[in-house]
């Protein structure tokens, strides 16, 4: 696995942020009972110097990305990307960009890849087909631009937000479990208050997740168009 800037910022950092409830559960409740087991387990030679925290971060990074991409992103943008901002902006029925700008994009796509995207009339007659063709065109556009400086930065920002939202689902569930444990099983007023605050913060993030991910998705789309046309 290549440890890139994208992995560190967009995957690992959301996992670290969302691991707080799990760490609280471990250190305030589980450590006394299962701590010795982990201490002995981590001495096994094949694990080397991998720590429990490192394993936890890796698992959260994978789970957060899966939930963010396969649940939230798919729900709002569809798996075929026909609802992504990159597709929306290129539709003639969308008013974010002028017809002249869209004509320039279409002309460059035709020149670079021989793609003839639907006209305004064809789009009106079959918008679903037009969306699919535009989504296919933007995939080629991304491949050509690759990791342009600004595009990479916005891709990292979008990935960070999406994966943080995905990880927050796990964090909210663990915070609820923590609150129940620290209230009824192992009373701990400080841990209980911390769990409530954490759970509220992650829940708030989930409540604003749709406009948040749409906003970062639109920023990414605008930079993609700019860098593609300037290439």
**Domain total in the chain:** 1
Cβ atoms < 10 Å from Cβ of 49: 6
> Pseudo-torsion of CA 86, 89, 92, 93, nearest 10°?
120
> Pseudo-torsion of CA 220, 221, 224, 228, nearest 10°?
-170
- Provide the pLDDT confidence category of residue 231 given band limits of 50, 70 and 90: confident
- Provide the pLDDT confidence category of residue 48 given band limits of 50, 70 and 90: very low
Model confidence at 178: pLDDT above 90: yes
Model confidence at 34: pLDDT above 80: no
Query: What is the per-residue pLDDT across 192-208, written as a single tens digit (0 to 9) for each?
Result: 999 999 999 999 999 99
Mean pLDDT of 133-143: 93
User: What is the model's pLDDT at position 60?
Assistant: 85
Residue 124 makes CB contacts below 8 A (sequence gap 6+) with 92, 93
Model confidence at 49: pLDDT above 50: no
Lowest mean pLDDT among 31-45, 160-174, 201-215: 31-45
Percent of the chain with pLDDT over 70: 88
- Provide the pLDDT confidence category of residue 54 given band limits of 50, 70 and 90: confident
Mean pLDDT of 125-146: 93
This prediction has a pTM of: 0.88
Phi, psi for 146 (deg, rounded to 5): 55, -125
85 near 220, Cβ under 8 Å? yes
CA nearest to 103, candidates 116, 114, 113: 116
Model confidence at 209: pLDDT above 90: yes
Please give the mean pLDDT across all residues of the chain.
87
User: What is the model's pLDDT at position 45?
Assistant: 41
CA nearest to 153, candidates 226, 76, 104: 226
Name the residue range of residue 92's domain: 5-230
Residue 36 makes CB contacts below 8 A (sequence gap 6+) with none
- Provide the pLDDT confidence category of residue 30 given band limits of 50, 70 and 90: confident
Mean pLDDT of 169-189: 96
């Amino acid at each position: 696995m290549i440890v890139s800037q994208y992995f560190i910022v967009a995957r690992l950092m959301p996992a670290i942020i969302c691991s707080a409830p799990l760490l609280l559960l471990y250190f305030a409740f589980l450590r006394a009972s299962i701590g010795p087991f982990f201490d002995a387990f981590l001495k096994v030679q094949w694990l080397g110097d991998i720590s429990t925290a490192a394993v936890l971060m890796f698992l959260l990074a994978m789970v957060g990305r899966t939930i963010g991409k396969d649940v939230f992103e798919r729900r709002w943008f569809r798996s075929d990307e026909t609802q992504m901002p990159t597709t929306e902006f290129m539709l003639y029925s969308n008013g974010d960009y002028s017809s002249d700008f869209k004509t320039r994009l279409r002309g460059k796509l035709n020149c670079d890849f021989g793609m003839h995207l639907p006209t305004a009339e064809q789009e009106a007659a079959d918008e679903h087909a037009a969306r699919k063709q535009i989504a296919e065109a933007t995939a080629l556009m991304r491949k050509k631009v690759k990791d342009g400086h600004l595009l990479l930065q916005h891709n990292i920002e979008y990935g960070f937000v999406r994966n943080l939202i995905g990880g927050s689902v796990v964090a909210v569930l663990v915070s609820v479990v923590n609150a129940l444990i620290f209230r009824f099983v192992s009373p701990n007023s400080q841990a209980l208050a911390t769990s409530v605050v954490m759970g509220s913060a992650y829940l708030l993030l989930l409540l604003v997740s749709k406009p948040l991910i749409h906003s970062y998705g639109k920023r990414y789309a605008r930079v993609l168009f700019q860098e593609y046309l300037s290439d």
